[in-house]
A and B are shown apart, each in its own frame.
Chain A
Amino acid sequence: GENVEQHPSTLSVQEGDSAVIKCTYSDSASNYFPWYKQELGKRPQLIIDIRSNVGEKKDQRIAVTLNKTAKHFSLHITETQPEDSAVYFCAASTGTASKLTFGTGTRLQVTL
């Protein structure tokens, strides 16, 4: 089955700096890669996703890149703000309506 590895497990940045979280996957059939943000005590929320026919996608301060050859994808957050502090999860699946395999999460702390 699919295996998703996520790094780093914790990340601390100063407000205004950029943050990068990286994931690798094992199943070459995976073609859908969402990212979730989970605030303390809340549900995971879908923040951005990318499909295998696209190399990069951007939504305001958030961007995701995908390298299918190397089987890795990354989340980039620019101009970080305190409200970006949360746990971020990457995931992979063979379709948007298919079961997801999650990474173990990255706890992002944005300090003033």
Chain B
Amino acid sequence: NAGVTQTPKFRVLKTGQSMTLLCAQDMNHEYMYWYRQDPGMGLRLIHYSVGEGTTAKGEVPDGYNVSRLKKQNFLLGLESAAPSQTSVYFCASSDRAGQFFGPGTRLTVL
């Protein structure tokens, strides 16, 4: 099993550009999450999903959109990137055994 995977690993955007981050899991988990990690601020929840076709806002949802069209995939979109969205983005999925993270995507917005 690959667990939780994320693409791309790195990306540089210019202000105003758009992009989509892809998260995939092969553990048949219902719950999936997107976090951002900034120095000194820990991990903050952007959006999450409790099952295929559902999404909900987390702690810092502004400027992001998500979709969960398939159970194994959770997409995070930035419609108009801003320098404040420079961060490391982690996807995770969970079941009763716990929450498990992907390797992360380092995004820089110039």
- Residues on A lying within 8 angstroms of B by beta carbon are 1, 6, 9, 34, 42-46, 49, 89, 96-105
Chain A residues within an 8 Å CB radius of B44: 102
Interface string of B3-30 (1 = CB under 8 A from A): 0000000000000000000000000001
Chain B residues within an 8 Å CB radius of A103: 42
Q: Is the interface of B mostly helix, strand, loop or mixed?
A: strand
Instruction: Find A96's partner among B96, B101, B103 (CB 8 Å cutoff).
Output: B96
Q: List 8 A-B contacts (CB under 8 A).
A: A1-B59, A46-B98, A96-B99, A97-B30, A99-B33, A102-B43, A102-B44, A105-B40
Q: How extensive is the interface on chain B, given as a class?
A: 20 to 34
User: Does B41 reach chain A (CB closer than 8 Å)?
Assistant: yes
Q: Is the CB of A44 within 8 A of B90?
A: yes
Assuming A43-B103, A44-B101, what are 11 further A-B pairs, CB within 8 angstroms?
Answer: A44-B43, A89-B42, A96-B97, A97-B99, A99-B45, A99-B48, A99-B58, A101-B59, A102-B42, A102-B43, A104-B41
